[in-house]
Amino acid sequence: MTTLSVGDDLVGYRIVRRLGSGALGERYLADHPRLPRRDVLTLPHSAVGDDADARARFARAVDIASSLLHPHIVPVHDRGGSGNGGGDSGSDGVLWVSTSYIDGSDAGALLAQSGTPLPPHAVVDIVAAVSDALDHAHAQGLVHSDLRAGEILLDAQRHPYLTGFVLAGSAQPADDQAQLARTAIDMLGSAVGPQVAEVINRARAIDPEQRYRSCRDFAAALRAAFGGAENSVVSSPTVVTATSSPTAVPAPPRAVATPPTMMAAPPTMMASPTPATGGPIRWSGHPGTLEQLRGLACGAFFAVTTSTDPVDHLTMAESDRSIRKIIRRAWAITDTASVVDTTELLALGLVTADYDAVLAGLAHTQPGSPRSAMRLDPAAADAIGAAGGGDAARVRTVAQAIALSRTLPQQVPVSTAAWELGQAVELVRMCHRVGLVEETWAWAAIIDLGRRAQQRYADWTAFALGFEWGRALASAEDARDPAAAADESCARTRPVLTMLLTDPSSPWMRIPLQQ
């Protein structure tokens, strides 16, 4: 196996230091070739690189792992190596995979350093977070297969991240549950009460049929065995599973000149949460209400990628001239009436109805199929378009992108409305900046958009999935190669969404969608 030294270069990555050896292989901290960040480069053991079948399994596992978007899973960014179709490769043909760098420690190292078991409440919370991550991966057809304390990374705030998915082999989801139970005992120590022991033993039962139905069920039983230990490390978000059936929404009505139904008076102001520090997302500490901040958080993607302004503030720092150009060219907005009409149409869904109709049609005709296995013939596309009152050509384009994309998540969202709700939030901010709408109306619109997001999504993870799909399908329209356009959109969108779901300073980490 290739060994790298400080200062060495691998496909543009400059090695900063060796991090150690893991189950997959040697791990190195490296400077990204183009972006101002550091990633972890892992070079698989020789057994993987020397065997063609092992290389192919490695490539497939990395491809699936890269689509996992979850606050407790370390994001996988890229892979390479000659002969695996993975893009760049070093001159020596070495296999590699790049993942996010979690600045902290891992549960195994924490145990070794302390020399004593972890507090029960900390273990319960770590198990809950990891269980949620595992069930999310299982829904995408990926099994971890080598779960142990060293694979659970902890940042400075003790936020857990599960790594190591690219080793997935022939194991079953129930095997992950048994390994998680074993890891829980490692963290708790062998001296546990009878109720806890009973839960652990069931999760490790020899017959997989005797184990819990899911890792989440195991985590819930463990918490109950400890008497409902309060969450003090992390909270375990609810993720919409791949078996959730998308629901088509009605086609939007024609534009009207009257304002949308929103709050007419400015909400009462109250103090915001303590501003977060560190990380790439600016948090201004603007004294907005929880509902105001939740609404603004729907447009956080745009605030992070296209603006230098804090994501929790209504105002914007761009010049009036540049903003007027954007809204005139993108939305044909020139006056207050057009702002109101466009915002209302985005809130109702200009394209969401068509996208959701296709997703609902696919889920109905091919239940349980992973996204990449879904197919839709032209006649069925025309029927779905006619039934939903949508454009048949758009339906066919969307179906083509879904079937042929290599990057769209395997998990199908409950709706793609998040894409248009996010656009509407940023549009309101821009129009307020250039004086086309009053502050009272702007805040009422922002709050309304946040409430619409609450009605459709269980949490920000589900919102992010709907946003990624919506943006990708919008990019596919009018493209010569819809699938390639969708893949390019995902490549640009996913890192930002991952940051929003994991960075402690992110509004999605600070402001719950459901409360």
Task: Encode pLDDT of 262-305 as tens digits.
Answer: 332 333 222 333 333 334 566 776 767 888 999 999 999 988 88
Task: Encode pLDDT of 411-421 as tens digits.
Answer: 888 899 999 99
**Side-chain half-sphere CA neighbours of 133 within 13 A:** 31
Judged against a pLDDT cut of 90, whether residue 200 lies above it is answered with yes
Judged against a pLDDT cut of 70, whether residue 332 lies above it is answered with yes
Least confident of 88-97, 258-267, 400-409: 258-267
Structure confidence at residue 254 (pLDDT):
30
- Concerning whether 146 is annotated as a catalytic residue, the answer is yes
Structure confidence at residue 34 (pLDDT):
83
- Top pLDDT among 17 and 515 is at 17
The tokens describing 148, both together, are 């142990």
Work out the pLDDT band at 62, boundaries 50, 70, 90: confident
Grouping H, G, I as helix, E, B as strand and the rest as coil, residue 39 is strand
Least confident of 132-146, 156-170, 235-249: 235-249
Instruction: Name the DSSP class of 141.
Output: T
Closest CA to 498 of 75, 62, 101, 35: 75
Work out the pLDDT band at 248, boundaries 50, 70, 90: very low
The tokens describing 177, both together, are 């549950």
**Contact predicate 99/107, CB 8 Å:** no
Domains along the sequence of the chain with CATH: 9-101 (3.30.200.20), 106-225 (1.10.510.10), 291-510 (no CATH)
How far apart are alpha carbons 21 and 305 in whole angstroms?
Answer: 35
- Top pLDDT among 51 and 470 is at 470
Structure confidence at residue 272 (pLDDT):
32
Span 206-235, average pLDDT: 79
Span 215-226, average pLDDT: 93
Structure confidence at residue 384 (pLDDT):
58
Q: Please name the amino acid found at residue 449.
A: L
Judged against a pLDDT cut of 70, whether residue 25 lies above it is answered with yes
Span 44-71, average pLDDT: 76
How far apart are alpha carbons 68 and 293 in whole angstroms?
Answer: 27
Work out the pLDDT band at 86, boundaries 50, 70, 90: very low
Structure confidence at residue 270 (pLDDT):
28
Structure confidence at residue 76 (pLDDT):
87
Instruction: For the chain, state the CA radius of gyration.
Output: 24
Span 400-427, average pLDDT: 87
Work out the pLDDT band at 44, boundaries 50, 70, 90: confident
How far apart are alpha carbons 389 and 254 in whole angstroms?
Answer: 13
Instruction: Name the DSSP class of 314.
Output: S
Judged against a pLDDT cut of 70, whether residue 368 lies above it is answered with no
Structure confidence at residue 104 (pLDDT):
87
Structure confidence at residue 164 (pLDDT):
82
Percentage with pLDDT > 70 across the chain: 77
Structure confidence at residue 245 (pLDDT):
28
Share the mean pLDDT of the chain: 78
Structure confidence at residue 287 (pLDDT):
66
Work out the pLDDT band at 387, boundaries 50, 70, 90: low
- Top pLDDT among 215 and 515 is at 215
Structure confidence at residue 212 (pLDDT):
95
Grouping H, G, I as helix, E, B as strand and the rest as coil, residue 45 is coil
Judged against a pLDDT cut of 80, whether residue 145 lies above it is answered with yes
Least confident of 63-77, 81-95, 170-184: 81-95
Percentage with pLDDT > 90 across the chain: 29
Catalytic residue among 78, 125, 132, 146: 146
Judged against a pLDDT cut of 60, whether residue 378 lies above it is answered with no
